[in-house]
Amino acid sequence: MSTETERQPITPRQQEVLAWIDGYIDTHGFSPTIRQIGHAFGWTTNGVMCHLRPMKKKGWITWIEGEARTIRVIGGDA
């Protein structure tokens, strides 16, 4: 698993998504759903996943497969 020092760079759009997720968690105390992210950016759920998967692979976020509202920003630093 990646640590903060092993993070790979993400695109500006991915940074925007990361900041949105981090802000949502700060405001609500729990992570957004995939559909909520899609609604915020005007994307389908598949479009959301096309952004989230690379962010996970690059070490910026994590989640538990098959469980709702488990997206976490690694290090909490958007």
pLDDT in tens, 4-46: 557 999 999 999 999 999 999 999 999 999 999 999 999 999 9
pLDDT (tens digit per residue) in 37-66: 999 999 999 999 999 999 999 999 999 999
What residues does each domain of the chain span?
33-78
Q: What backbone phi and psi angles, to 5 degrees, belong to 45?
A: -60, -35
Give this prediction's pTM: 0.86
Closest CA to 1 of 68, 62, 70, 48: 62
